[in-house]
Structure 1
């Protein structure tokens, strides 16, 4: 080995040792100036001998070339989240469940029973990551993502100073995946924000946002410039043996150079855990980093394995969160925002105040009923609450601090964006033969898409990933398009030209062509996506799928009467009226015709009425849906049996009615149909049922190609070979409905590792259960592959 190679090796070993003492042991052995001298010497030697540069050298933390995008990483062992305890009773319940799960003796009048040992450490407020070491070398870093799949951030985690690029000592497993939190210390956060402000850059709201934003930079050099740190709390995939306890395992990782929490402690029994929680809670503001609670884990690894997992959380660990922080501040004003459906929502503008580590200047007031409930007035001193990432809320007013010039909050009569009238919504409750109207809590602008706020939000929804999925049309681009009057409806998106797009801020030739291609690619949406994209009030993604799968054509959905729509799963009369009203609106009709006409959209997966709904209606059921006063399902069925047809019911005289029903009900039926509007309505429903093929006299079709039609399936636990969304899509393609809970009507439950209460409920009810391998085999039997 040459003199240069020997010196480089010696410097690397010395710097690694100093890093270990500084970051892991918190026992620096040399001044910073001496460390910097050694570092510069190593840099100079590597510059003179580039052939000797290796990835694990301390000099390589500056970051490499920028990436175009992050790759995906599938976690060999899923990264689970933790259940939460919000008060002492929650933690006591957790301890009780642990002791019961381990079959430990309980307490009685003479003692508290067996005590469980727990590891205790602060819950850092950062970003969860995994670091994979092979043969002692760092080979990969990944974000948690959805728990099964994360983003490859290897280039970025290599720049974090306290992440060892190679492990210390010896005896580490060939494969060692450590997991922990990347965070930004308070001092580093304040220094970063000061630099950002001086340079005219964007400042961050809190250390967590700064850490997450810094770690997900496509340019690792930016990450390298940020004061990030890593703290390990556990392991994932390991190819060898580790100590048999949580604390012992973490202490061993520390020996190998992995940073762990300096607050790590072992507590015997739940009372000791509570003491730790209170102690660290008192010292919370003095800590050099933000925390939002404490994590307790059963210390013995064998006990952890015995306790197991529920769907996505372990039974053996819990996060005891600190209470949501509240502060007092002044309500300076109330402004009104306009949403996609025209809802005019009050927003509190506050004198800025720091709540839970974040400067808060705005807070939600929900609606005018909430304003009235709080009794809030402009100028009041109010209590603001912020819990985690939840939008800050006005919780209460401090009436004794109300100033003499406080002003009431009034809903504007005109829309603050377009000037159209603002009207209070009316709630219609339909019951037997009548509809009662009451005032709703929401006020709406009546300007529809002539209101720029509604137009922007409507188009943002239209292009979103689960709707038309037009990549490249972000919120700011849509705002530009609307402000420049280039689009006035979703249909205008398909008229955009290259010249119009390239003139927008942030667009060049390549990005303009890419956006045009994305718009063109969106012209063949499935029927379900298109229905969802329209933004019908109260119609989410699942209801859109029901409409598409059941009626199988946009024409039927557009024509469907509310009573006919209620034959479909999970569509009640109120939602049915919203759907019918939407398609009956002249403006909506023009937009849809423009999309399907000159815009050239071609809907996919349209066809004949779903076989499960052919001839589904009965005369008795239809009469019941008419909501005739005093006539329930039983009486409606008696009418059907007596008269056989709707025309027979409409033409039945008093004597005929009396042979089927008691006097009061017979009179109610006769009076109902004596009203020409009611008779006409009944005929229209029957005619549509016949047109759709749902009429009792229609031909009953055999459900071909949809072997699971009419079945309800439930997914629970962690699927390892596909995501839950993928599994759901495959089941729906076979005609099944995927529900979120198990009931006696459930046909089958697919249970992956960590399945909890849903699996127990299925066993209790005798519902069929498949593991993932059996589920995949079942799909294969129907010709559906991974």
Structure 2
């Protein structure tokens, strides 16, 4: 080994040790000037001997060539969010649930019950990231994203000074995924904004935004110039466990070079947790970084596994948020924004003020009823709160400070975007044959898609990932297409040409071709996606799935009467009327027709869902007519007496009295004496018959799904199909797809790169399929 190589290795080891003492232990052993001298010496030696430069050298944190975009990373173990507690009661309720979930003895008159041990850590206000180490070397960094899929920011995380490029010591697992928060200290944030101002650049509103923006720079040299820090708070996938407690994990990670919170503590019981929360809350302003609460986790890993997860959060952890912070400021004006459904919403324009470390200049006012409730006038001094430390909100007017020239807030008569008339919505309450109309809290622009704001928002929703999933059409691109007159409805997307978009800002030859291909690829959507993409008021993803799964054709959904829709799960009468009204609108019909004419082929259409065939009864139909004074019991008596809807409609008074008391009989007779009521009732029955839902329709056998009651786990990378496709296929067969392996897991599908989940599956003796075996399983008859 040459002298230069020996000295380079010595310098790297010494600098790594100093980095560890400075960033992890907070015990620097040499002055900054001496560290800089050693760093310069190493840099000079590596410049003379470039063949000796390695990826884990302390000099390799300066960033590299800018990326054109981030690629996606799928988290092997989902990065779940935490449930929130806002007061002591919420925390005690969390502790109770944990104790019950672990079947611990409760307290009584003679003493307290068993106390759970919790780890306590401040909740840093930054960006959650995942760091993957293989054989001790950092190989990947990723953002949390939506919890399932994040962005690959490997180049950028390498520039964060206190993230080790190579783990210290030895004994680490071959695969180790470390999770934590990248944040910016208050001092670092102030330095960055001073530098931005000096350079004539844009300043950041708060340290969290600065950290998130810095970490997601496509040019990692910019990231390297920002004062970012990392703090580890847990693990993702690991090839082998190395401790039986959460704090034990963190302490071991610290030995391997990972920075952990200096405020990390063990609490014995909920009282200790609340004491920790109050203590750090009192010291919050003096901490060198922003925090928005405290995270408490059950310390025992075995107990964590026993408690498991809810749909989107672990049962063994909670974030105790700090109360919203409030400040006084002045209301300068109220402006009005127009949303996708035409709702005209007031927005407060405020004299900028810092609230909980964030400069606030706008706040939501929700609607004009809220303005009236607050008694708000332009020029007022108001109290601003960041609800949950996130959403700025006007909570109170300080009347004693109201100036003499304060002005009332008026809803505009004309839409501020398109000039169309603004109307107040009406609430229609339907009950027992009566409609009660009252004024709603929302004002709407009646311009619909002729209004640029509504059109833009409608198309942004239409192309979104969970709707038609047209990649390459972000908000700015949609705004351009609308402003240039190229798109006036969602259907116009399918007539766009290369020549029309290639010269638009942000587009070039390749991106234009990619967009046109993405639009073409979206022409075969699942029926549920298409229904959701239409943007029907009050119809979210789950309602769209119910409509698609139950009625199984767009034609049935379009024609369905409100009373027929209420036979479907979780669809009430008001939502049913919204759906019916949407599809009855001539303009909406035209747009849907154009979409189908321009090549959309809806998938998953077919016969009515088997469970809805012949699912109605005559008594149930009569009850849905909401005849005054007639409830389910009276409706059933009419059905039993007359046997058909036509028989009920035509029954005379004497026959009716044989089935019902006088008041109810009179009400039924008066109801059907109205030709409109009789026609409407017969129309509902005709549609039930047409759809196959009528009580005289053919009953279909509802077969059990072949994987019903089974829990499956997908791990590793799948190459023959995407993970989303595999999950959807399993769910369509009745299986539950879980992110963790347990004794209740029926089968694990393990692709290349499978880690700790596969190890655990083998330890538990579970059934394991590789991807080829999984595909073969799916192709079996009856599956």
| TM > 0.5 fold call | yes
Q: For the residues of structure 2 that align with 1:772 and 1:688, how far apart are their CA atoms? A: 53
Moved more, 95-104 or 28-37: 95-104
Q: For the residues of structure 2 that align with 1:192 and 1:646, how far apart are their CA atoms? A: 76
- Does the 8 Å contact 2:138/2:166 carry over to 1? yes
- The structure-2 alpha-carbon separation of the partners of 1:34 and 1:88, relative to structure 1 and needing over 3 Å to count, comes to same
- Does the 8 Å contact 2:460/2:474 carry over to 1? yes
Q: For the residues of structure 2 that align with 1:271 and 1:689, how far apart are their CA atoms? A: 60
Q: For the residues of structure 2 that align with 1:277 and 1:423, how far apart are their CA atoms? A: 49
- Does the 8 Å contact 1:308/1:754 carry over to 2? no
- Does the 8 Å contact 2:77/2:739 carry over to 1? no
> Match for residue 532 of structure 2?
532
> Match for residue 758 of structure 1?
none
> Match for residue 494 of structure 2?
494
Q: For the residues of structure 2 that align with 1:468 and 1:263, how far apart are their CA atoms? A: 46
- 1:266-304 CA-to-partner distances (Å, cap 9, x unmatched) read 455555544433332232222221111223445566666
- Does the 8 Å contact 1:312/1:754 carry over to 2? no
Matched, 1:471 2:471: yes
- The structure-2 alpha-carbon separation of the partners of 1:3 and 1:514, relative to structure 1 and needing over 3 Å to count, comes to same
TM-score, normalising length: structure 1: 0.87
- The structure-2 alpha-carbon separation of the partners of 1:661 and 1:783, relative to structure 1 and needing over 3 Å to count, comes to farther
- Does the 8 Å contact 2:539/2:575 carry over to 1? yes
> Match for residue 603 of structure 1?
602
Q: For the residues of structure 2 that align with 1:773 and 1:333, how far apart are their CA atoms? A: 64
> Match for residue 682 of structure 2?
683
> Match for residue 447 of structure 1?
447
- Does the 8 Å contact 1:356/1:387 carry over to 2? no
DSSP 3-state at the match of 2:406: coil
> Match for residue 572 of structure 1?
572
Q: For the residues of structure 2 that align with 1:332 and 1:669, how far apart are their CA atoms? A: 59
- The structure-2 alpha-carbon separation of the partners of 1:126 and 1:673, relative to structure 1 and needing over 3 Å to count, comes to same
Q: For the residues of structure 2 that align with 1:460 and 1:660, how far apart are their CA atoms? A: 56
Q: Where does 1:700-779 land on structure 2 (aligned, <5 Å)?
A: 700-703=699-702, 707-708=704-705, 729-730=728-729, 733=732
- 1:92-148 CA-to-partner distances (Å, cap 9, x unmatched) read 455566667777776677876776665433221112233344443333333344555
Matched, 1:9 2:9: yes
DSSP 3-state at the match of 2:469: coil
- The structure-2 alpha-carbon separation of the partners of 1:590 and 1:58, relative to structure 1 and needing over 3 Å to count, comes to same
> Match for residue 278 of structure 2?
278
- 1:146-190 CA-to-partner distances (Å, cap 9, x unmatched) read 555544433222211111222334454555443322111122222
> Match for residue 752 of structure 2?
none
Moved more, 214-223 or 561-570: 214-223
Q: For the residues of structure 2 that align with 1:774 and 1:573, how far apart are their CA atoms? A: 46
Number of equivalenced pairs = 754
- Does the 8 Å contact 1:311/1:718 carry over to 2? no
> Match for residue 330 of structure 2?
330
Q: For the residues of structure 1 that align with 2:289 and 2:449, how far apart are their CA atoms? A: 47
> Match for residue 61 of structure 1?
61
Q: Where does 1:352-391 land on structure 2 (aligned, <5 Å)?
A: 352-388=352-388, 390-391=390-391
Q: For the residues of structure 2 that align with 1:424 and 1:784, how far apart are their CA atoms? A: 57
Matched, 1:652 2:651: yes
Matched, 1:694 2:693: yes
Q: For the residues of structure 1 that align with 2:482 and 2:76, how far apart are their CA atoms? A: 46
> Match for residue 630 of structure 1?
629
- Does the 8 Å contact 1:331/1:378 carry over to 2? yes
Matched, 1:86 2:61: no
DSSP 3-state at the match of 1:139: strand
Q: For the residues of structure 1 that align with 2:765 and 2:715, how far apart are their CA atoms? A: 8
- Tell me by how many angstroms 1:229 deviates: 0.8
> Match for residue 751 of structure 2?
none
Q: For the residues of structure 2 that align with 1:207 and 1:94, how far apart are their CA atoms? A: 30
DSSP 3-state at the match of 2:340: coil
- 1:450-483 CA-to-partner distances (Å, cap 9, x unmatched) read 1111111111111111222211111111111112
DSSP 3-state at the match of 2:377: coil
Q: Where does 1:481-560 land on structure 2 (aligned, <5 Å)?
A: 481-560=481-560
> Match for residue 760 of structure 1?
none
- Tell me by how many angstroms 1:652 deviates: 2.0
> Match for residue 640 of structure 1?
639
- Does the 8 Å contact 2:73/2:150 carry over to 1? yes
- Tell me by how many angstroms 1:577 deviates: 1.5
- 1:376-413 CA-to-partner distances (Å, cap 9, x unmatched) read 12111111111346321111112222222222212111
Matched, 1:185 2:173: no
DSSP 3-state at the match of 1:616: coil
Q: For the residues of structure 2 that align with 1:484 and 1:565, how far apart are their CA atoms? A: 40
Q: Where does 1:139-288 land on structure 2 (aligned, <5 Å)?
A: 139-147=139-147, 150-238=150-238, 242=242, 246-247=246-247, 249-267=249-267, 270-288=270-288
Moved more, 480-489 or 63-72: 63-72
Q: For the residues of structure 2 that align with 1:584 and 1:303, how far apart are their CA atoms? A: 55
Q: For the residues of structure 2 that align with 1:186 and 1:162, how far apart are their CA atoms? A: 17
- The structure-2 alpha-carbon separation of the partners of 1:95 and 1:558, relative to structure 1 and needing over 3 Å to count, comes to closer
DSSP 3-state at the match of 1:519: helix
DSSP 3-state at the match of 2:408: coil
> Match for residue 125 of structure 1?
125
- Does the 8 Å contact 2:420/2:447 carry over to 1? yes
- Tell me by how many angstroms 1:612 deviates: 2.6
> Match for residue 614 of structure 2?
615
Q: Where does 1:391-406 land on structure 2 (aligned, <5 Å)?
A: 391-406=391-406
DSSP 3-state at the match of 1:293: strand
Q: For the residues of structure 2 that align with 1:110 and 1:610, how far apart are their CA atoms? A: 58
Moved more, 567-576 or 118-127: 118-127
> Match for residue 665 of structure 1?
664
- Does the 8 Å contact 1:24/1:258 carry over to 2? yes
- 1:609-655 CA-to-partner distances (Å, cap 9, x unmatched) read 33332333333222222222222222222222332233322222222
- Does the 8 Å contact 1:414/1:421 carry over to 2? yes
Q: For the residues of structure 2 that align with 1:227 and 1:322, how far apart are their CA atoms? A: 26
Q: For the residues of structure 1 that align with 2:736 and 2:600, how far apart are their CA atoms? A: 38
Q: Where does 1:411-430 land on structure 2 (aligned, <5 Å)?
A: 411-430=411-430
> Match for residue 743 of structure 1?
none
DSSP 3-state at the match of 2:391: coil
- The structure-2 alpha-carbon separation of the partners of 1:715 and 1:328, relative to structure 1 and needing over 3 Å to count, comes to farther
- The structure-2 alpha-carbon separation of the partners of 1:604 and 1:727, relative to structure 1 and needing over 3 Å to count, comes to closer
